Structure 1
Amino acid sequence: MPHQKFESATIKPRYSKGAISSFGSNSVYPRIPWVAAWWSFTFPGFGHMFLGKHLHGFMLIIWGIVVNTQANLNLGIALSMLGKFEEAKDVINEDWILLYMAVYIYSIWDSYRSAVEINKSHILSEVEDAPMTPSVINFLDVVLLEKKKPILGAVWSFLTPGLGQLYGGATAVGTFVLAWWIFVTYKAGTIGAWFYSFIGDFSTASANVDWQWFLFLPSMYAFAIYQAYSSVVANNALYDIEQIRFLRVRDERLTLQRQNKMNDGTVQIVATFEHSPFVEMFIHDIETIGVPSENIVALPLENLESQTQIIDSLHRVDGRSVLDGAMVSATIIMLLGTIYGFVWKWGPVIWGLIGLVGGFSLGLIIELVLQKKKIKVFESGKSEVFMQVTCPASMQKHLIKVLRARKAKGYLVLPQRITPDT
């Protein structure tokens, strides 16, 4: 990552990496433009939410729900796909549908354009390398940049959309997603449909559902899962970026004090950590027991190659994920399953869930086939922190104990024959 010192405490950076507040965290994490455009294609506002342009997203989503409902657009789409073209013409309100189209196209175009500009800003923010605040504490909340598990964000939103966003620290987004999910679920009669579907009364389940409102749910559900996952990954990347800058600035400050030779009776221990609070806690611990700051080298390792992984695959280099294609496929096939579920035996709920799982699996298989030479399964693609400590031999056992307590990935006590040049 490019590095340039940003010393001023009074001048704001021209290109910020990100920020946190009581409403949540946000960053110029790079996103793939076609993915943003795709989510806007599924529903106006989703692409902007994916990019972190939440106010734009909120406005477009509310607008989309109001105008789509007035136009009976969802119902018209469903009837058309079932071959009932005359009925579709009768239900669609032409005045409202014409109002819908301009903003719908704008949403797709602007989300693609915004993704391109955000990616440019990300590059410039890396060059400027300005500091950011890793925590905010006020009366309303305690907000910390912390490492979380993206898959847990997806699981919570799978159970109830909005919970994954709250888990990821996006309070405003989580509240909005929960509110819209509750409102649309109520209007669609979804709870009754779920109940009757799982006791096998499929005809009653289909009869009690409002088609117009129910067809909002597939795209909303799939987007909430994916957005929760990707926002946690972006938040983790922001944590890494902030800690990388801290470690580099710290090392520059200590370089002038560091002596490049070992005295008799000293040892050198090297260790690696994942980016986490344990890195800074370890530095504090060993400084407390008497190891001078200039004897502690802590710097991030540079990635030589960025490989895509199936789990936690969005990485700081380009924002690419094999889950992009998987969630695109899941959204399409879930929507089709829901529509045709109104006339098939098992009803829209069961066929919608089958479409979600089947579409995700199909999309993931296609991504794996297309990128099979670039993909690892679980191994992390992010950089690690390299730590080198020079200390008296008498501290060796205690230092190793602290390494274990602070979750070091591994360590090595350098043989005495390896000495720095004098």
Structure 2
Amino acid sequence: MPHQKFQSDAIKPRYAKGRISALGVNSVYPRTPWVAAWWSTAFPGFGHMFLGKYLHGFALIIWELVVNSQARLNIAIALSFLGRFEEAKAQINQEWFLLYVAVYVYSIWDSYRCAVEIKKSHVLSEIEDAPIAPSDVSFFDVVILDKKNPWMGFVWSAFTPGLGQLYAGSTVVGTFVLVWWIFVCYKASAVRAWLYSFLGDFSRAAAIVDWQWFLFLPSMYVFAIYQAYTAVNENNILFDIEQTRYLRVRAANLGQRNTIENGTIQIIATFDHSPFVEMVIHDIEKLGVPPRDIVVLPLENLDSDTHIIDTIDRVDGRSNLDGAMMGGTIFMVLGAIYGFVWLWGPVIWGLIGLVVGFFLGLIIELVLNKKKPKVLSGRKSEVIIRATCKASLQDQLVKTLKSRRASGFVIMPQE
């Protein structure tokens, strides 16, 4: 049970669950430490962005772009995979490379450490039952915490990295990702390479690409998709947490009537967490039903299975897409490297590597997972509403429940 009950979001908690502002939406949500460490391994800064530590992430990403390019490390990595070791050693700028090592190791270590600390902070924020302001209106923006489809974030970032983050409500993060993607594509001559590849001119595509900058793109592309997907999922969780707290505080502040008097009925309905829950409460009150006769409580879902694909209706916080996206990153990088010497060029082989790595990573996750996962997370009712009202209001009440998308309802029989 919560240690301290907050009645107003104006009270500043010791451990915050999240924050909504014109800059974006962020939350203290427990992330898997080894997943954060992996993304820092793939690209320093990504692990911190995955955790919501965006300022750290931005600094390390800029550092990676500058120091890696000056050390010419990507070219050396590509030549090493192709077996051209002497050329690889000749490419490296040793002074810049020595500057690179310490920060790279720090990025991995610190992202893992931060993930552990964020888990602790999340537990303490749950004990404190701290409130979250679900909207922020400023001169620059109107930000509202609502339920969104994580696959829309996935798809928009697949078209152009950064768009999925903007869809998720992260204005600063989306802008940063969009700018860095355009900059690296320009430096790598990637757009012309894609054009030549899809026109079938593979040799010309491979010839114009700058290896050093092009090899940044696979990790950046896959992470942008993954981060947009998880950001929407975590915002959905934050919405559920905020509404659950609001409904519990409301129930504690109102008296409950447990008997059905003559001439009255009880209607019980179920809803998913959404703005419609609070709208329907207001609608029922407008019909003349006293607030204390409207009991609204969140349900505790018992399904703890791991799902391959999370949806807007059910988010379990742990997805087998973690391993799939990691596999996609690794094989996309390898496909891009070997694509410089294979027939179809780095773009086509990079995309093939993305698909192959995605499914290979997914298979490995399924094999290692002890529980039998479900493909789709099922739709579940998450809020129950019980309204006691005059029998004459029955039809209007049922119409209101339907208009506000109730999952189902029942009229309690008279004894």
Distance 2:379 2:34 in 1: 23
| Alpha-carbon distance, 1:319 to partner | 3.0
One-letter amino acid of the structure 1 residue matched with residue 330 of structure 2: I
8 Å CA contact retained: 2:320, 2:365: yes
Change beyond 3 A, Cα 1:144–1:17: same
| Alpha-carbon distance, 1:8 to partner | 6.5
User: Does 1:95 pair with 2:95?
Assistant: yes
Distance 1:99 1:108 in 2: 16
SS of residue paired to 2:195? helix
One-letter amino acid of the structure 2 residue matched with residue 136 of structure 1: D
Per-residue CA deviation, residues 102-130 of structure 1 (Å, 9 max, x unaligned), is 00000000000000000110011001011
Aligned match of 2:189 = 189
Aligned match of 1:220 = 220
Aligned match of 1:36 = 36
Aligned match of 1:264 = 262
User: Does 1:122 pair with 2:122?
Assistant: yes
Q: Which moved more, 1:380-389 or 1:340-349?
A: 380-389
| Alpha-carbon distance, 1:379 to partner | 3.0
8 Å CA contact retained: 1:30, 1:318: no
| Alpha-carbon distance, 1:4 to partner | 4.1
Change beyond 3 A, Cα 1:119–1:390: same
Q: For residues 305-384 of structure 1, what are the structure 2 equivalents within 5 Å?
A: 305-312=303-310, 319-371=317-369, 373-380=371-378, 384=382
Match of 1:394 among 392, 395, 403: 392
Distance 1:345 1:356 in 2: 18
| Alpha-carbon distance, 1:11 to partner | 4.6
Change beyond 3 A, Cα 1:230–1:165: same
Aligned match of 1:200 = 200
Per-residue CA deviation, residues 74-100 of structure 1 (Å, 9 max, x unaligned), is 000000000000000000001111100
8 Å CA contact retained: 2:206, 2:345: yes
Aligned match of 2:286 = 288
One-letter amino acid of the structure 2 residue matched with residue 31 of structure 1: R
Distance 2:312 2:113 in 1: 21
8 Å CA contact retained: 2:381, 2:407: no
Aligned match of 1:6 = 6
Change beyond 3 A, Cα 1:3–1:396: farther
Change beyond 3 A, Cα 1:382–1:90: farther
Q: For residues 24-173 of structure 1, what are the structure 2 equivalents within 5 Å?
A: 24-173=24-173
| Alpha-carbon distance, 1:369 to partner | 3.3
8 Å CA contact retained: 1:230, 1:314: no
SS of residue paired to 2:296? strand
Counting aligned pairs with the same residue, the percent is 69
| Alpha-carbon distance, 1:252 to partner | 0.4
Match of 1:299 among 272, 297, 300: 297
Q: Which moved more, 1:332-341 or 1:299-308?
A: 299-308
Distance 1:399 1:313 in 2: 30
Aligned match of 1:420 = none
SS of residue paired to 1:310? strand
Per-residue CA deviation, residues 312-337 of structure 1 (Å, 9 max, x unaligned), is 17999973211100011000011000
Distance 2:181 2:380 in 1: 34
| Alpha-carbon distance, 1:378 to partner | 2.1
One-letter amino acid of the structure 1 residue matched with residue 307 of structure 2: Q
8 Å CA contact retained: 2:266, 2:386: yes
SS of residue paired to 1:377? strand
Per-residue CA deviation, residues 146-170 of structure 1 (Å, 9 max, x unaligned), is 1100011010000000000000000
| Alpha-carbon distance, 1:134 to partner | 0.6
Structural RMSD (CA): 1.8
TM-score by length of 1: 0.95
5+ long unaligned stretches in structure 1: 418-422
Per-residue CA deviation, residues 178-217 of structure 1 (Å, 9 max, x unaligned), is 0000000000000110011001110000001000000000
Aligned match of 2:237 = 237
Distance 1:127 1:110 in 2: 26
Distance 1:119 1:46 in 2: 18
Distance 1:272 1:134 in 2: 22
| Alpha-carbon distance, 1:305 to partner | 3.6
SS of residue paired to 1:31? coil
